[in-house]
Structure 1
């Protein structure tokens, strides 16, 4: 089984100014079954979340002791039960001082995979559901949400504790609208030094675009498309983009060519790893814009083939219209002619 240890606790603060409530479950070792299925679904949600942040543990252990407790557990200086007792206790203390209502199931998972060990700290939310009880009376109940995940942290344990520890061993999901509860979760995690995703996205786009322009004209579109596909696949896996791996994907016959080009022509980090926003990377293969009552989107491969831009007149000419669009235009014009 992938899960080595797992434990949950329900935490709630319904009356700000009063002590919060926290009810912890038993620590579970290799729980398997339904727990594996639940965790698998949470990982799907985690990986698919846009706008993730990347960083490391704060060095202020006094204010953020979670990393020290986790390290003691990994070094077998304390049990998983002791680690989670401390973690849940600190979360309750944070909620005691909260000024906003909060409720959720805090779940810590230690997972062993073929390529390394990972820990997840997640806040599971609930949905309201209706059911008929044993007397056939309608009753409202709460069930775990399998479609929402707004607060979560992934810890790459090997990257963090290895000999060549990475500065970006944490990946954070911090959804909009989480309010004070979200801020307290970040304090609990001790997350800091986030990566500038916007800057790394531009670095990625600039490097790929420059490389595509340096290629033969007929292969430029293929370079952009393959770079986008690689980035999209990495996003689905919840992984960043390694320039070396991308280089081999772009040109199997010369696997170092793009890596060398990027190192000379772009501000690639020494780690050779970038965290581009896959939504913005789509600009490599699509051109889109909206405004003034108009919205357009088309493949970049169509420029100067079915879409022509006249810079002097700031005019766009589109040929080979999609059938559905052509039919809509014809019906609209026929209706106007009949007025």
Structure 2
């Protein structure tokens, strides 16, 4: 999974109406195994979440993200500048949302197969314990990807090459379908365009037709269907 560009910024924000404070990084993260592991773990956690799908709103003052992303992809601004514009916009939206909390914001442009993606995630830490080289138990702080609640993934290739698509953006939905992540969706400028359950039913119907055409054994078909649903 080649990582083309990655950067992390920090927004300090409490859900009490106090102003958000931005700590912006001024250089990309260098290539490392740690970054690759982080993105792999992030994708694993993200793929297991309940998601909604959509596409970019028309670019405007309220939804400037797609314009900044387009400028970056065209070479009119570098990745650091693009991420800085975006995170400053997110900071403003956080200040308007009393329920929002801060965290580390990861921007990662990577390639999987022949497809380019942009992942954006709000990451939080958890406090734990570890055993050090002296065999002593010590406090340990780590990114808690199991508690990933605000993240989005943009299929850049589909956005650029399929103008009719309405499902090149995915983002994590709030538990129970609650719109607790509205400000994050608005930050991306995403308009929901595809109903995930409906998409799943369509996929299962296509798979069922495939099973029938292949005359697959019942037990094998059931196992593959369960794998697909999971």
TM-score higher than 0.5: yes
Aligned residues: 227
Cα distance change of structure 1 residues 74 and 101 upon mapping to structure 2, 3 Å threshold = closer
Deviation at 1:224, TM superposition (A): 3.6
Structure 2 partner of 1:83: 82
Structure 2 partner of 1:26: 26
Rounded Cα–Cα distance in structure 2 between residues aligned with 1:118 and 1:221: 37
| CA RMSD in angstroms, aligned pairs only | 3.3
Q: SS state of the match for residue 147, structure 1?
A: helix
Deviation at 1:15, TM superposition (A): 5.6
Cα distance change of structure 1 residues 111 and 176 upon mapping to structure 2, 3 Å threshold = same
Q: SS state of the match for residue 107, structure 1?
A: strand
Structure 2 partner of 1:239: none
* Residue pair 1:2, 1:30 contacting (<8 A) in 2 also: no
* Residue pair 1:67, 1:190 contacting (<8 A) in 2 also: yes
* Residue pair 1:11, 1:92 contacting (<8 A) in 2 also: yes
Q: Which gives a bigger RCO, structure 1 or 2 (Cα 8 Å, sep 6+)?
A: 2
Deviation at 1:169, TM superposition (A): 0.8
Structure 1 unaligned regions, length at least 5? 233-277, 280-339
Rounded Cα–Cα distance in structure 2 between residues aligned with 1:142 and 1:227: 39
Does residue 124 of structure 2 align to residue 109 of structure 1?
no
Rounded Cα–Cα distance in structure 2 between residues aligned with 1:36 and 1:43: 11
Q: SS state of the match for residue 77, structure 1?
A: coil
Q: SS state of the match for residue 28, structure 1?
A: coil
* Residue pair 2:55, 2:166 contacting (<8 A) in 1 also: yes
Deviation at 1:109, TM superposition (A): 0.3
Structure 2 partner of 1:12: 12
Cα distance change of structure 1 residues 179 and 32 upon mapping to structure 2, 3 Å threshold = farther
Select 2:218's aligned residue among 217, 221, 238. 221
* Residue pair 2:117, 2:156 contacting (<8 A) in 1 also: yes
Q: SS state of the match for residue 16, structure 2?
A: coil
Q: Deviations over 1:315-334 (max 9, x none)?
A: xxxxxxxxxxxxxxxxxxxx
TM-score, scaled relative to structure 2:
0.82
* Residue pair 1:5, 1:27 contacting (<8 A) in 2 also: no
Q: Deviations over 1:19-67 (max 9, x none)?
A: 1122122331652221111111111112232x22221111243211111
* Residue pair 1:109, 1:119 contacting (<8 A) in 2 also: yes
Deviation at 1:167, TM superposition (A): 2.3
Structure 2 unaligned regions, length at least 5? none
